Each structure stands twice: as structure tokens, then as C-alpha cells.
């Protein structure tokens, strides 16, 4: 069972990575990041159930990750709204403040 | 007892102090500069005379003293001085000429604005030459030998505003350097093979002295001797490295007298005398030395016949006389070589200073533009005549006795070289009488605007002193009294005396002067007789056997080509590589700069590529 979970998680992670690196729309980038986080959660749960040493710790850890991800998404969306108010766009190509 | 001998190391320090003082004072103290330079050389002269007189009396033993300089493993280099009879004689020669030149220059260089610098250089030169004479080992000798070369360079190029002087200075330095390279190699080989790596002259004497030469094999001895002789060829203007000496006449005339006639060029002959044991241990080296000397003597004498420049004639005469000295050494007569060095130093310095007096008066060096100077410049004329007679080998002037010693040796040892020497003596008499009669007799060919008058006392008195020495100096060694030879070599060398040689040398001397008088004094032989009948002979002689042209084609051009080739490699291989590296770095930095565009996604992509590379590297290493 473990390999199919891991494969599923890897595919999910790659889709998320692709979206985070390539997409223009900042909201989709945020969604892609959530996708990658969920891929990681899937791995954690899969290992805690079918790993060499099964334990509940992995599932608890996944719960924590979901909580942190929710907080992160809230902060991310808040930053995005602030950016949209300031620049009037959510296009990633126009956000190059880090250059200065 | 040996009080003065023991303090001989002070002698070079007087001119050195004068040099330092003159350099510190700068150019403004013109009168003081002359005074300081002259006092420095006068002090050295007095000390040298005291040393000489101390050694004259009894059989003085050689004195040497030294202190440790550097340790290299088991080898110790020492700095020290040595006083032998030969050294004492050289000290006096150098200081006498140096002092008189100092006095003379006060008149000759009076109007030059860098006279203080000039006196500083002369003092430095005197220091270097005295150090060379006194040095007790080959290493110190070599250091002073180079220092002398530097002074020669500085003084030849003293009037550096003239392009010819600059070129001549460079030429003098580079050409003698070729010989110096040989000398250095010789010293290194000597150092390598000497027992205990000793380089001092007394050890060299002991090792190479007859009967004990087993320590070093014959072939090594010969190669050391020939390498040392290369240094002699360079410094003493022997064929084929003589080309620098005529050009060196671009320097001020007192310098020509001091350095390029009397003292520095004699350093080569002095080196021969100092390392005479090495040469004596190898018959092949002796023959080489003798034939080089003989060839140089006749070669330069013939060139001197056809020159126009008064100083150039005297320069070729110097080369020819140095050839005589070297030939005498090669024939085994150290006495003859040193004796001729001794007399030549005085009469050649006299001739140069007198020529300087003439140039000072008429402002040209071309003898065909002079003429009829005898009535206006009495002292110069008479002293020049004494120098001419001495150089031509007319008794009782000093040049006769020394030349006769050499010719008598040659007659005993090698009749062919005797003939060469006689021919050279004939040419010498001929070119000197040509020079004398063209310059001092006949009608004046000077433009009327030039008013000729005798030079001032400060210039004529050194001439008179040198003239007296030129007359008297020959009597230290005559066919019936070999005092100098006994004193110099401790009686090891048998004196050569031969009536035939005396008669022959007087005959060719008189004949040469007579023909010169017929052609240029009385004009009963047409002057252009050679150039009309055999124009190519006159042409070849006037062009100095095309030696300069030959070198320009055979050596200067290939070397220059090589230099250009190497320069091209530098420019197109190394330079291009360097420029490529620079460009590559620039391009790389521009590329990296493009990545820094402020966009989060690019940064993320870069980080991911880096991660992939690291993973590939780690995983790949496992499968390597």
C-alpha cells in the first residue's frame, strides 16, 4: 500500500511545485503551495500507518501541519490583499520588490 | 713595518666618501664639487704611493685580510683585500690617472651644468676600480667588475640628451655584458671545482700553480680559462666584442682618457694577470689568448689608419694596444702585459687629454677640419708629440720599452705573432703620425670664426705631468735591467731580451712615422694613393671592416626578430587567454545578475535546480 500513497503524494507535490513556480496568478500560487503541503501531510499519514514503525505521532504531526498551513494561508492571503490594494494587480511577474 | 699596506683597504673609501658627499650635496655646489672629487682622488693617490713605496724596498710579502660575509652550508664567502706588488702597481696607475683627470676636468667640464654629477660618477668609478684592484677573491672582484661597468655606462651616456650618447651607453653595457656572462660562468665553474669551493686568489694560485694542477682536470682548467677570457674580451675590447669601445667615445673626453683608455679597459688585462696561473696551466687557453690578442692588435691598428674622428682613432689605437697586452699574456709574459698596461695607461691618457684639449679649442672631432694647430697650442702640441712618439715605440719613450719587451717575448715564443706584432707596430706609427701631422701641421682648415687658443693651466698641467711620466716610466724594465719583471713575479719569469727585436721595432716605428710624414706632413706622396688605387681597401678600413653592419645583420636582427616573436606570443597567446578569462568572468556575472530579478518564482526555481544538482551529485557519487 505504501508505494501507491507515496506515488500519489509525489504526483501531488510535483503539481503543486509546478504551479508555484510557473503560474502568473498569485492566488493560484498560494493554492499550489497548499497542494504541496497536503502532499507532505499525505506522506506523514502514510508512514505512520504503513511505515516500518507504525505510530500515532505521524498523524498528530499531520494535524499540526494542517493548523500551521491554515495560519500560513491566512497570512498569505492577507499579504496578497495588501499587495493588491497597493499595486492593483495579482500578477506575479509584477512583484519584483525584492530586487531593490 | 707594513703599516700602509695593512691600511690599504682605506684607499677605495676616499673616492667612495667623495661620491656620497657629492650625491648628498646636489648640483648647486659647483666649485665644492670639483674640490671634493679632486681631494678624494688625491687622498687615494697619496695612500697608493705610500703603499707602493713601502713594497719597493725589500721582498715584501703579500698581505691579505678578510672577514666573513655569508655562510652557505659548508661554504663561506669572505670580503677582503689583498696587497701584492701587482695590486700596488695597479693602485698607483689608477689613482694617478684618476687624479689628473679630476684636475683636468675642472677645466674641460667647466661650463657643463651637471659638473657635480660628473665628479660624483668619476669618484664612484675610482672607488669601483680600486675595489676591483684590491679584492682578494673572485666574487668581490666580479661585484666591482660590474660596478665599473655601470660607471662606464653612466659616463658614456653622460650627455644623454644626444641620441648617439644614449645608444653608445647602451651598446657599451650590453656588449660587455656578453663577456661578463662568460666571466660569471667561469667563476661558477671555478667555484664548483675548486677544493673547498675557495675563490680567493691565493688559493687559486696554489691550486693551479705548476705541478699541483692535478686537483682539477685539464679540460676543466681550459674551459674555466676560456670562460674567464670571455670577460676579458668584453671588458678589454678584444675582437670580436671590441665594437663598444669606439662608440664609447661619445662620453666626455676626460672619461675616454680615464675609463676607456687607461684604467677600466685594463681591468680585463688585470684579470688575466690575476688569474694567470689558471691560464698557464692550460696551453690551449694560452694559445687562444695569444692569437686573439695578436689579431686584435693588427685588426684595430689597420682600422685606425682610415678613421676621421680624432677620438675614434685613439679608441682603435687603445684596442690595438690592449691586443698587445693580451698577446703578451698569452705568450706567457705577464711582465710584458703589465708593463705595457703601465706605460700605455700614461701615454694613452696623455693622448686623450691632449685630444680633449684640441677638441675644447676647435669644437670639432673631425681631423680633416683641423690643421696647423702647432703654432697656437704649444703645450698641447708638444705633449701630444711625446704621446705619439711613445705610442709609436720610439726610444727612449716609455712605449718603446714595453712594446719591445712584448716583441722580444714574441720573437722567442712564436715568430708568427712577432711578425703580426711588428706589422701592428708599423700601422701604429703610421696612424699616429697621420693623426699628428694632419691635426698639428699644415694649413688651418678651420672656419675663421673659430679662434684657437691654448687651453687653461688646469688642463695643460696634467698634460705636462703625464708627458713627464710617459718619458720616464719605461726605464723600470729595459732589456739590460729586468727590475719590474723580478719585482712583479718574484723572478719566476725569465726576461726576454733580443737585439733583433729592438732593431726591428725601432725600424718599423721610424718607417711608419716617415711614411706618415711623407704622406701627411710633406705631402710628397699623394694622400689619396690608396683610396685611388684600391678604393675598396680604404672603404673597408673606414667602415671598420663592417663589423657593426655585420652584427646588425647577424645578431641584432635575429635577436630583434626573436623578441618580436616572443612579444607576439605574449600578445596573441597569453594576452588572448587573459582577455578571454576576463570576458568569461564578465559574462558569467551578467548571467547571474539576470537571475537576481526580484521575482520569487525565479528564486524558487533556482533553489530547486540547486537542490536537484545536489541530489544528483550525491546519488551519482554512489553509482560512480
Tell me the pLDDT tens digit for each residue of B150-182. 988 988 888 888 888 888 888 888 888 888 999
Judge whether A20 is closer than 8 Å to chain B, CB to CB: yes
- Map B410-473 to HEC letters: HHHHCHHHHHHHHHHHHHHHHHHHHHHHHHHCCCCCCCCCCCCCCCCHHHHHHHHHHHHHHHHH
Determine if residue B588 is left, alpha or beta; phi over 0 gives left, psi from -120 to 50 gives alpha, anything else beta.
alpha
| Residue in A with minimal Cα distance to B605 | A21
At A8, list the grid cell.
500519489
Measure in Å the smallest separation between the Cα of B559 and chain A Cα atoms. Answer: 58
Rounded to an integer, what distance in angstroms lies between the CA atom of residue B89 and that of residue A54? 110
Q: In the structure, what pLDDT confidence band is assigned to residue A33 with cuts at 50, 70 and 90?
A: very high
Residue-wise pLDDT for B241-257, tens only, equals 888 888 888 888 888 88
- B530 band by pLDDT with thresholds 50, 70 and 90: low
Could you tell me what percent of chain B has a pLDDT over 70? 94
Per-residue burial over B229-258, b if 16 or more Cβ lie within 10 Å, else e, is: bbbbbbbbbbbebbbbbbbbbbbbbbbbbb
- B537-582 pLDDT, tens digit each: 777 777 777 788 888 888 888 889 999 999 999 989 999 999 999 9
Q: Tell me, what's the pLDDT at A67?
A: 94
* Residue spans per domain, chain A: 2-93
* Three-state secondary structure of B343-357: HHHHHHHHHHHHHHH
Q: Minimal Cα–Cα distance from B602 to chain A, Å?
A: 7
B27 lies in which domain range?
Answer: 1-136
Strands B63-72 and B75-83: antiparallel
* Statement: residue A55 has pLDDT above 60: yes
Closest Cα in chain B, distance from residue A98 (Å): 4
Cβ of residue A22 closer than 8 Å to a chain B Cβ: yes
Q: Given CB atoms, is A90 within the 8 Å cutoff of chain B?
A: no
Point out the least confidently predicted range of A67-81, B478-492, B558-572: B478-492
List, in order, residues 6 or more apart from B17 with CB less than 8 Å away: B40
Q: Is B343 part of any domain?
A: no
Contact yes or no for A92 and B598 at CB 8 A:
no
Pair B457, B332: CB distance under 8 Å: no
Q: Do A21 and B599 touch (CB under 8 A)?
A: no
| CB–CB contact B599 A100 (8 Å) | no
Is A2-93 a CATH 3.90.470.20 domain?
A: no
Q: B600 and A93 in contact by Cβ < 8 A?
A: no
Residue B406 clears pLDDT 70, i.e. is over it: yes
Q: Look at A98 and B608 and tell me if their CB atoms are within 8 Å.
A: no
Give A23 to chain B, closest Cα distance, Å. 9
Kindly report the pTM of this predicted structure: 0.78
Boundary (domain end) residue, out of B136, B153, B170: B136
CA-based nearest distance B570→chain A, Å: 43
Number of domains in chain B: 2
Could you give the C-alpha distances from A10 to A18, A49, A73, in angstroms and in order? 12, 18, 22
* pLDDT at B212 > cutoff 60: no
In chain B, the residue whose alpha carbon lies closest to the alpha carbon of A23 is B601
Confidence at B211, pLDDT banded by 50, 70, 90: low
Contacts of A79 (CB under 8 A, 6+ apart): none
**Cβ <8 Å between A97 and B596:** no
Nearest chain A residue (CA) to B606: A21
CA B159 from centroid of its chain's CA atoms: 19
Using a CB-CB distance cutoff of 8 angstroms, which residues of chain B are in contact with residue A93?
A: 599
Q: In angstroms, rounded to a whole number, what is the distance separating the alpha carbons of residues B343 and B25?
A: 37
Q: Is B70 helix (H, G, I), strand (E, B) or coil?
A: strand
Interface touch A98/B604, C-beta < 8 Å: no
**For chain B, which residues lie within 8 Å of any Cβ of chain A, measuring from their own Cβ?**
596-601, 603-605, 608
Give the ipTM.
0.85
pLDDT band (50, 70, 90) for residue B529: low
A24, closest residue in chain B (CA to CA): B601
Higher pLDDT, B363 or B214: B363
CA distance B388 to B517: 13
Q: Which residues of A touch B600 (CB under 8 A)?
A: 92, 95, 98
Question: Does residue B299 carry a pLDDT above 70?
Answer: yes
Let me know: does B222 contact B285? Beta carbons within 8 Å: yes
Distance from CA of A20 to the nearest CA of B (A): 7
**Confidence at B532, pLDDT banded by 50, 70, 90:** low
Cα atoms in the 13 Å half-sphere on the side-chain side of A25:
4
All cell numbers assigned to B301: 691598428
Domain ends where: B136, B164, B196?
Answer: B136
From chain A residues 37-76, the ones with a CB under 8 A of any chain B CB are: none
Residue that wins the pLDDT comparison between B600 and A8: A8
Per-residue pLDDT tens over the stretch B114-125? 888 888 889 999
Structure-derived torsion over alpha carbons of residues B16, B21, B22, B23, reported in degrees to the nearest 10 = 90
Q: Of B596, B597, B604, which has the smallest distance from its Cβ to A21's Cβ?
A: B604
Distance separating alpha carbons of residues B284 and B225, to the nearest angstrom: 9
**A96/B604 CB distance under 8 A:** no
From B136, B161, B176, the end of a domain falls on B136
Contact A22 B601 (CB under 8 A): yes
The nearest CA of chain A is from the CA of B600 a distance in Å of 8
Output the CA–CA distances (angstroms, integers) from residue B60 to A84, B66, B85, B475, B491, in the order listed: 111, 19, 8, 21, 13
The residue assigned the cell 650590453 is: B174
- Cα Rg, chain A, nearest whole Å: 17
Q: Looking at residue B241, what DSSP letter applies?
A: S
Residue of A nearest to B593 (CA): A99
The answer to the question of residue B597 being in a domain is yes
* Residue B86 grid cell: 701587482
Q: Per DSSP, which regions of B49-147 are E strands?
A: 63-72, 75-83
Mean pLDDT over B440-463 rounds to 77
Residue B405 has pLDDT above 70, yes or no: yes
> What backbone torsions phi and psi does residue B375 show, to the nearest 5 degrees?
-75, -25
Does A83 contact chain B (CB < 8 Å)?
A: no
Q: Output the DSSP codes for A11-54.
A: HHHHHHHHHHHH-SBHHHHHHHHHHHHHHHHHHHHHHHHHSSS-
User: Left if phi > 0, otherwise alpha if psi is -120 to 50, otherwise beta: which for B496?
Assistant: beta
DSSP per position, B591-624: HHHHH-SS-HHHHHHHHHHHHHHHHHHHHHHHH-
Backbone angles phi, psi at B2, to 5 degrees: -90, 40
The reply to whether omega before B336 is within 30° of 0 (cis) is no
B598 and A93 within 8 Å at the Cβ level: the answer is no
Does the beta carbon of A17 lie under 8 angstroms from any beta carbon of chain B?
yes
Least Cα distance to B493 among B501, B485, B503 occurs for: B485
Amino acid at each position: 500500500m505504501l508505494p501507491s500513497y507515496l506515488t500519489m503524494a509525489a504526483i501531488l507535490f510535483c503539481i503543486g511545485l509546478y504551479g508555484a513556480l510557473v503560474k502568473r496568478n498569485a492566488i493560484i500560487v498560494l493554492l499550489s503551495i497548499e497542494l504541496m503541503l497536503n502532499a507532505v501531510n499525505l506522506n506523514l499519514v502514510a508512514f505512520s500507518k504503513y511505515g516500518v514503525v507504525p505510530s500515532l505521532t505521524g498523524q498528530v504531526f499531520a494535524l499540526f501541519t494542517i493548523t500551521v498551513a491554515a495560519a500560513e494561508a491566512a497570512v498569505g492571503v492577507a499579504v496578497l490583499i495588501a499587495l493588491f490594494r497597493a499595486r492593483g494587480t495579482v500578477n506575479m511577474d509584477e512583484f519584483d520588490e525584492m530586487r531593490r | 713595518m707594513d703599516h700602509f699596506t695593512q691600511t690599504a683597504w682605506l684607499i677605495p673609501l676616499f673616492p667612495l666618501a667623495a661620491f656620497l658627499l657629492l650625491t648628498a650635496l646636489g648640483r648647486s655646489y659647483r666649485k665644492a664639487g670639483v674640490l671634493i672629487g679632486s681631494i678624494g682622488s688625491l687622498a687615494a693617490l697619496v695612500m697608493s704611493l705610500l703603499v707602493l713605496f713601502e713594497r719597493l724596498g725589500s721582498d715584501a710579502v703579500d698581505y691579505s685580510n678578510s672577514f666573513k660575509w655569508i655562510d652557505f652550508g659548508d661554504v663561506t664567502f669572505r670580503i677582503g683585500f689583498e696587497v701584492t706588488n701587482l695590486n700596488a702597481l695597479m693602485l698607483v696607475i689608477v689613482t694617478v690617472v684618476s687624479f689628473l683627470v679630476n684636475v683636468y676636468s675642472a677645466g674641460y667640464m667647466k661650463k657643463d651644468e651637471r659638473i657635480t654629477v660628473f665628479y660624483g660618477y668619476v669618484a664612484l668609478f675610482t672607488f669601483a676600480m680600486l675595489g676591483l684592484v684590491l679584492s682578494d677573491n673572485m666574487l668581490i672582484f666580479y661585484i666591482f667588475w660590474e660596478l665599473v661597468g655601470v660607471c662606464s655606462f653612466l659616463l658614456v651616456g653622460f650627455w644623454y640628451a644626444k641620441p648617439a650618447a644614449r645608444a653608445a651607453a647602451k651598446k657599451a653595457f650590453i656588449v660587455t655584458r656578453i663577456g661578463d656572462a662568460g666571466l660569471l660562468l667561469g667563476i661558477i665553474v671555478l667555484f664548483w671545482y675548486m677544493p673547498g669551493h675557495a675563490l680567493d686568489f691565493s688559493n687559486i694560485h696554489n691550486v693551479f700553480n705548476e705541478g699541483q694542477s692535478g686537483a682539477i682536470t685539464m679540460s676543466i682548467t681550459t674551459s674555466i680559462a676560456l670562460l674567464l677570457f670571455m670577460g676579458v674580451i668584453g671588458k678589454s675590447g678584444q675582437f670580436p666584442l671590441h665594437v663598444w669601445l669606439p662608440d664609447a667615445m661619445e662620453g666626455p673626453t676626460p672619461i675616454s682618457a680615464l675609463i676607456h683608455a687607461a684604467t677600466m679597459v685594463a681591468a680585463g688585462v688585470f684579470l688575466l694577470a690575476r688569474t694567470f696561473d689558471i691560464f698557464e696551466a692550460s696551453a690551449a687557453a694560452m694559445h687562444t689568448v695569444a692569437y686573439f690578442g695578436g689579431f686584435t692588435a693588427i685588426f684595430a691598428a689597420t682600422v685606425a689608419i682610415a678613421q676621421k674622428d680624432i677620438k675614434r682613432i685613439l679608441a682603435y689605437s687603445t684596442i690595438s694596444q690592449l691586443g698587445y697586452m693580451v698577446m703578451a699574456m698569452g705568450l706567457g709574459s705577464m711582465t710584458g702585459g703589465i708593463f705595457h698596461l703601465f706605460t700605455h695607461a700614461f701615454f694613452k691618457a696623455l693622448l686623450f687629454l691632449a685630444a680633449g684639449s684640441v677638441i675644447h679649442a676647435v669644437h670639432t672631432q673631425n681631423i680633416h677640419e683641423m690643421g696647423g694647430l702647432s703654432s697656437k697650442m704649444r703645450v698641447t702640441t708638444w705633449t701630444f708629440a711625446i704621446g705619439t712618439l711613445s705610442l709609436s715605440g720610439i726610444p727612449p719613450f716609455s712605449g718603446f720599452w714595453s712594446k719591445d719587451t712584448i716583441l722580444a717575448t714574441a720573437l722567442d715564443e712564436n715568430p708568427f705573432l712577432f711578425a703580426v706584432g711588428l706589422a701592428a707596430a708599423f700601422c701604429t706609427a703610421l696612424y699616429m703620425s697621420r693623426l699628428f701631422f694632419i691635426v698639428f701641421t699644415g694649413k688651418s682648415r678651420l672656419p675663421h670664426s673659430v679662434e684657437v687658443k691654448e687651453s687653461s693651466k688646469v688642463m695643460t698641467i696634467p698634460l705636462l705631468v703625464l708627458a713627464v711620466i710617459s718619458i720616464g716610466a719605461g726605464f723600470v724594465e729595459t732589456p739590460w735591467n729586468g727590475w719590474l719583471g723580478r719585482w712583479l713575479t718574484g723572478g719566476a719569469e725569465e726576461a726576454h731580451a733580443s737585439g733583433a727585436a729592438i732593431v726591428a721595432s725601432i725600424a718599423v716605428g721610424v718607417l711608419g712615422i716617415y711614411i706618415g710624414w711623407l704622406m701627411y706632413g710633406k705631402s710628397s706622396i699623394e694622400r689619396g694613393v690608396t683610396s685611388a688605387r684600391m678604393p675598396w681597401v680604404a672603404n673597408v678600413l673606414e667602415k671598420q671592416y663592417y663589423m657593426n653592419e655585420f652584427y646588425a645583420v647577424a645578431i641584432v636582427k635575429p635577436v630583434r626578430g626573436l623578441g618580436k616573436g616572443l612579444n607576439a606570443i605574449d600578445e596573441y597567446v597569453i594576452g588572448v587567454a587573459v582577455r578571454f578569462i576576463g570576458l568569461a568572468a564578465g559574462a558569467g556575472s551578467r548571467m547571474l545578475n539576470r537571475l537576481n530579478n526580484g521575482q520569487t518564482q525565479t528564486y524558487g526555481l533556482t533553489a530547486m535546480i540547486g537542490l536537484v544538482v545536489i541530489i544528483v551529485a550525491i546519488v551519482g557519487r554512489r553509482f560512480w
